[in-house]
């Protein structure tokens, strides 16, 4: 009974798994690129690379024994991903769920249900991608808070500004801060990157593990608030071409990059460089 209920993973099987994993990653990125979902594409590239690195670092410590049920379930999930990928209608929500389902299917094939805990970090990261942004907007609307911050920023810079709810009013324009402009997407992106950083660099202490996610959300909120203030000024100056560029065009991608850059600088100067400084002091 024991031999029938367990499936030993043969050495050659690992090469097949690596090949399948590479194929699934390439398939997902290709479909995301085809759907022209640049936000998801950039996030997926970073998260897939991080997950691959995490698994590779502990490949020799992984439990590689799967049960018959786990093998069947993993194969079924893998098949469903491949079948769905063959008929994805453009920018489908499946593109968000597919990385998590793909990773789960491979983990079941290699290590079974009992071995899933070995991959909790990788599954958590890919599960983070799966969060539908539209669903988050339903439960978390920061439009009012964003409008308050942007209006206060403009007032502090000397502009004659008034605010009524989510509407920011200048002498020549009135702008509504919709839920899509509240910065939730950017906060989710930086929050995910903060988790990725904590997993990739486990030398962080408990305070840093708690502080970094909050810092990521704070940075994203501030950067987006500045963006909304700039967009309000563009509307007030009747510069529709510049507004379209910074609101929905290529310029809209620059502000999230600024947030990532600021967060990266903080992690580099206040976390990654500290061990090196400590070592130099001890040697002196």
Mean of the pLDDT values across residues 53-76? 88
Could you tell me which of 97, 93, 166 has the C-alpha nearest to residue 134?
A: 93
What is the predicted pLDDT for the residue at 7? 52
Angle at alpha carbon of residue 183, lines to 181 and 188, rounded to 5°: 140
When pLDDT is cut at 50, 70 and 90, the band that residue 199 belongs to is: very high
pTM of the model: 0.81
Mean of the pLDDT values across residues 83-107? 90
Residue 195 has pLDDT above 80, yes or no: yes
What is the predicted pLDDT for the residue at 279? 45
Distances (CA, A) of 257 to 81, 126, 222, 252: 31, 21, 13, 10
Q: What percent of the chain has pLDDT over 90?
A: 46
Mean of the pLDDT values across residues 248-260? 83
Mean of the pLDDT values across residues 63-91? 88
When pLDDT is cut at 50, 70 and 90, the band that residue 82 belongs to is: very high
What is the predicted pLDDT for the residue at 274? 62
Lowest-pLDDT range, 26-40, 91-105, 234-248? 234-248
Cβ contact 212:201 at 8 Å: no
When pLDDT is cut at 50, 70 and 90, the band that residue 13 belongs to is: low
Go through 210-239 and write b for each residue having 16 or more CB atoms within 10 A of its CB, e for each that does not. eebbebbbebbbebbbebbbbbbbbbbeee
The 8-class DSSP code of residue 172 comes to T
Domain residue limits, the chain: 2-130, 137-283
Question: 20-64 pLDDT, tens per residue?
Answer: 999 999 999 999 999 888 888 888 999 999 999 999 988 888 887
What is the predicted pLDDT for the residue at 284? 44
Could you tell me which of 102, 100, 86 has the C-alpha nearest to residue 17?
A: 102
What is the predicted pLDDT for the residue at 47? 94
State both tokens at 41: 């594409």
Task: Quote the mean pLDDT of the chain.
Answer: 85
Question: 119-143 pLDDT, tens per residue?
Answer: 999 999 999 888 887 777 777 888 9
């Amino acid at each position: 009974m024991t031999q029938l209920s367990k499936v030993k993973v043969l050495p050659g099987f690992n090469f097949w798994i690596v090949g399948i994993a590479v194929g699934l990653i390439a398939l997902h990125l290709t479909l995301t690129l085809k759907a022209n979902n640049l936000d998801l594409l950039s996030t997926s590239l970073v998260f897939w690379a991080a997950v691959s690195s995490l698994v590779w670092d502990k490949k020799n410590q992984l439990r590689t024994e799967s049960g018959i049920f786990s093998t069947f379930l993993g194969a079924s999930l893998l098949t469903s991903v491949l079948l769905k990928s063959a008929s994805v209608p453009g920018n489908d929500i499946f593109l968000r769920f597919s990385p998590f389902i793909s990773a789960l299917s491979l983990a079941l094939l290699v290590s079974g249900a009992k071995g899933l805990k070995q991959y909790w970090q990788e599954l958590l990261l890919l599960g983070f991608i799966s969060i539908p942004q539209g669903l988050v907007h339903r439960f978390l609307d920061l439009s009012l808070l964003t409008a308050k911050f942007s209006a206060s920023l403009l007032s502090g810079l000397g502009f004659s500004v008034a605010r009524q709810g989510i509407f920011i009013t200048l002498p020549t324009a009135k702008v509504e801060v919709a839920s899509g402009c509240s910065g939730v997407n950017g906060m989710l992106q930086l929050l995910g990157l903060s988790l990725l950083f904590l997993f990739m660099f486990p030398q962080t202490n408990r305070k840093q593990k708690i502080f970094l996610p909050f810092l990521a959300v704070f940075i994203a909120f501030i950067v987006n608030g500045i963006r909304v203030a700039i967009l309000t000024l563009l509307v007030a100056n009747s510069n529709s071409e510049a507004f379209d560029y910074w609101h929905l065009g290529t310029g809209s991608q620059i502000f999230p990059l600024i947030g990532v850059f600021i967060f990266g600088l903080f992690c580099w100067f206040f976390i990654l460089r500290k061990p090196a400084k400590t070592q130099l002091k001890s040697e002196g």
